[in-house]
Every structure is written in structure tokens, then in C-alpha cells.
Amino acid sequence: KALLYNMTPEQQVYADKWNKDHPEDDLVSTEDKLDAKTVEMAKGYDVVSVLQVFDIDEEEVYRKLSSYGIKQIALRSVGYNIVNFDFVHKYHMIVTNTPAYSPRAVAENTLTSAMYLLRKWGPILDNEREHLNFVRSEDLMSDEIYNQTVGIIGVGRIGSCVAEMFHALGAKVLGYDLVENPANEAFLEYTDFDTVVKNADILTLHTPLEPSMENMISAKQFKEMKNTAYLINAARGPLVNTQDLIDALKNKEIAGASLDVMTGEEAIVMKKFKDISELPVEYQELAKMPNVVFTPHSAYYTKTSVKNMIEHSMTDVKRVLNGQKPIYLVEE
Ligand code: NAD
């Protein structure tokens, strides 16, 4: 019997399906987040599951969960920074997450971004919608992906899918990672960070964010990149220095960018605005550039991902309750 906090209508579909397919289980949902005010709802359940951006940092939450006999917090997300692991250890609990809910979702979004930028759909759509201009001017002439070099920083679950896809389209793929996986050499050539940055026609980021990696792409890298290169960031906002990116775009040091994530994205994601002047100032600048596209942290947002968030987290719940090792144990 599991209590799923932070339930959304699109996830509820898959929670209902789980209940139907597993009559021995009982997934109960609430839209509430897990905190000291709502923890008492978990009394009588075997496990809790959450998918929230708010930190669970009150000791009372862990103390009460433990007193109810709950030993596992099943996150329906990749990120686990919302959990306080001092309290998890103190109350002898474990945390599981869903790191592989769909690497292909983000990889396909990256492919979409690359083709959108490369085929200049930003300026084409801008001409059409803003100016009713259907002229095929020379600046709209584009390149073809099979003779481009794609540079991938971080060749993990998502990065290796990205490599496979661009390799299949005939592009040359360069990759940089702290750990080189020989299996990926079928699709890419591993090299150092600077070589990837300098040679990429499309530079795409797929690393996690550690404090030391903030501003990984900033003024120095923009100056080293090809003037014709595009940057794609669907990893984490602070990997890119936003002001340096704006300067690089204004100075034509790079040709364009696709940003699914950006520092300060909390100010816009899941919100609606009436006028561009309501946006944070850096978004206002970028929104005026036809060679820039941003999406609301939606690279992962596919039916498969949402389904797998439920299925992977609940599979690990069952494994733990049956005395097996979970597939996705978070070890901190
Ligand atoms: P992963 O752990 O499988 O792969 C990350 C890779 O980055 C690993 O191979 C790791 O060795 C490498 N790496 C770590 N530090 C590095 C460094 N300093 N330099 C080079 N490489 C480094 O993770 P993943 O599932 O591929 O996800 C990658 C990132 O994508 C996540 O951390 C998350 O930030 C982001 N993400 C975004 C969305 C979205 O919707 N936009 C969805 C899921 C994940």
C-alpha cells in the first residue's frame, strides 16, 4: 500500500493502470507535497513516493515516517537533492529514484533542437509570423546534418543515445566524459573537452550539475566555438553562463542556441505571461532573438517518461517490500 504525493492528472493515468494490472497493490494518490504538515497522511501505508521540487528537510517527516514503519522513499524523479540524507540514515530508511525513465525522450528532443536550429526554423517562422515574409533569402540557407560535427559533453544514458542518433544520420560525433565507455565508440570518438568545444557545429550538454561545473560554458568557450556553431542545453541551467551566452549571441560568436533549462527557470516554468516585459530580463533578451529557442524544461516530457516514472518507482517499491535489492538505490 503506497501513498503517492504530488500526483498530477497525467501520472494518475499510469497509477490507475498499475492498480488494475497489480490487484494485490493499492496505490493511493494525493496532490499534496510531502512535508511536516502532510506526513501524517502516510500512516497505515508501507511506503511513500514523491515527485516534488520542494526540499523535504524537516526531521519530523523522517521521524514520523519511520514511526509508521515506512522504510523507503520512492522518488519518481532522477534528482534526489530534495532529500535530507542525514535524516534518511538516522532513521534507517532508503531512497530510490528513476534515473532511466527515458533517456531517449531527452535525446530525441536534442535531435529536434539541432534540426530546428540547423534548418533555421527560428528565423523562418519569425519571418512568416511576425512579418508575413515568405522570401527564401540567402541567410536562410542551411546545412545538412550528415556533414556536421556534433559535440557531446557528458556521454551517459542520455548522451550515448544522442551519439547513436546523430551517428545514424551520418554526422561525425565527438564526445567528452570523465569516464569513457568503449561501447560508445561505435557511435563517437572520445576526445578532450576543448577539442569538442572547438570542433562542434552542434555542441550539446548532457552532464549532471556539480558546483565545480557551474559556468562550464562561458565567455572563453564561446570565443573558442565556431561562429557557425549552435549550443544545446537540456541538462542543467547553471552549466551555461547566461550573460556570456547573450553576449556571444549578440557578438555573433555562435550562431544560435536551444535552451530547455536555464539559470532562473523557476521564474517562468509552468507559468503564463501576458507580455514579454513580464519575463526576467535575460529571457526578454533571448526571446527577441530568432536564432534562440527555449522550452519549459520539457525535454523529458513524453508519455513514456511519465509512465516509467510510475512503473520504475513502483517496481523498486515491490522489490524492497519482497526483500530484494532495489534496481535504483540512491547511495549518498
Ligand atoms: P548519466 O548519469 O547517465 O550521465 C551523465 C554523464 O556525465 C556520465 O557519463 C558522467 O560520467 C558524465 N559527467 C559527469 N561529470 C562530468 C564532467 N565534469 N565532464 C564530463 N562528463 C561528466 O545521466 P543522464 O541520465 O544521461 O542525464 C544527464 C543529465 O541530463 C542529468 O544530470 C540532468 O541534469 C539532465 N536531464 C534533463 C532532463 C530535461 O528534461 N531537460 C531530463 C533528465 C535529465
Ligand 1 geometric centre to CA of 237 (Å): 12
C-alpha cell at 198: 572547438
- φ/ψ (deg, to 5) at 212: -70, -15
Q: How far apart are CA 68 and CA 43, in angstroms?
A: 6
Q: Whose CA is nearest to atom 31 of ligand 1?
A: 208
Distance from residue 155's CA to the centre of ligand 1 (Å):
7
Burial (CB count within 10 angstroms: exposed 0-12, middle 13-18, buried 19+), residue 80: middle
* β-strands 72-75, 94-96 pairing: parallel
Of 207, 214, 265, 305, the one to substitute when testing ligand 1's pocket (max ligand atoms within 8 A of C-beta) is 207
pLDDT, one tens digit per residue, over 203-257 is 999 999 888 999 999 999 999 999 999 999 999 999 999 999 999 999 999 999 9
Taking the mean position of all CA atoms in its chain, how far away is CA 216? 17
Q: How far apart are CA 230 and CA 117, in angstroms?
A: 7
Closest residue to atom 2 of ligand 1, CA basis? 156
Using CA positions, which residue lies closest to atom 4 of ligand 1? 156
Task: Please give the distance, rounded to the nearest whole angstrom, from the Cα atom of residue 331 to the centre of ligand 1.
Answer: 17
Mention every residue, 6+ apart, whose C-beta is less than 8 A from residue 289.
249, 256
How big is the chain by its Cα radius of gyration, in Å?
22
Tens of pLDDT along 60-115? 999 999 999 999 999 999 888 889 999 999 999 999 999 999 999 999 999 999 99
Atom of ligand 1 nearest to the CA of 208: 32
Q: Which atom of ligand 1 is nearest to the CA of 176?
A: 20
CA 256 – CA 122 distance, rounded (Å): 9
User: How much is the pLDDT for 52?
Assistant: 79
Determine the Cα–Cα distance for residues 309 and 288; give it in Å rounded to an integer.
Answer: 35
Give me the pLDDT at residue 132, please: 97
Rounded average pLDDT over 274-289: 96
The C-alpha atoms of residue 163 and residue 103 are separated, in whole angstroms, by: 12
Separation of CA 150 and ligand 1 centre (Å): 17
Residue 41 has which C-alpha cell? 497522511
Does the pLDDT value for residue 282 go beyond 80? yes
Nearest-atom number in ligand 1 for the CA of 207 is: 7
For ligand 1, atom 35: residue with the closest CA: 235
Q: Which residues are catalytic?
A: 236, 265, 297
How far does the centroid of ligand 1 lie from the alpha carbon of residue 14, in Å?
A: 26
Whether the per-residue pLDDT at 280 is higher than 90: the answer is: yes
Sign of CA dihedral 240, 242, 248, 254: positive
Reading the block at residue 67, the C-alpha cell is 514511526
Minimum CA distance residue for ligand 1 atom 1: 156
Question: DSSP character for 173?
Answer: E
Q: Which residue is closest in CA terms to ligand 1's atom 14?
A: 207
Residue pair 220/81 in contact by the 8 Å Cβ criterion: no
Q: Is the pLDDT of residue 53 over 80?
A: no
pLDDT digits (tens, 9 = 90+) for 3-31: 999 999 999 999 999 999 999 999 999 99
Largest CA distance in the chain: 69
DSSP output for 271-313: ---SSGGGS-HHHHHHHT-TTEEE-SS-TT-SHHHHHHHHHHH
Which residues' Cβ are closer than 6 Å to ligand 1? 78, 99, 103, 106, 153-159, 176-179, 206-209, 213, 234-236, 260-261, 297, 299-300
Residue 212 alpha carbon, nearest atom of ligand 1: 18
- Please state the rounded mean pLDDT for residues 275-281: 96
Question: 54: pLDDT confidence band, cut at 50, 70 and 90?
Answer: confident
Contact yes or no for 162/107 (Cβ under 8 A): yes
Q: How far is the CA of 231 from the centre of ligand 1 (A)?
A: 16
Would you mind telling me the total number of residues written for the chain in this entry? 332
List Cβ neighbours of 222 (8 Å cut-off, separation of 6 or more).
244, 245, 247, 248, 253, 254
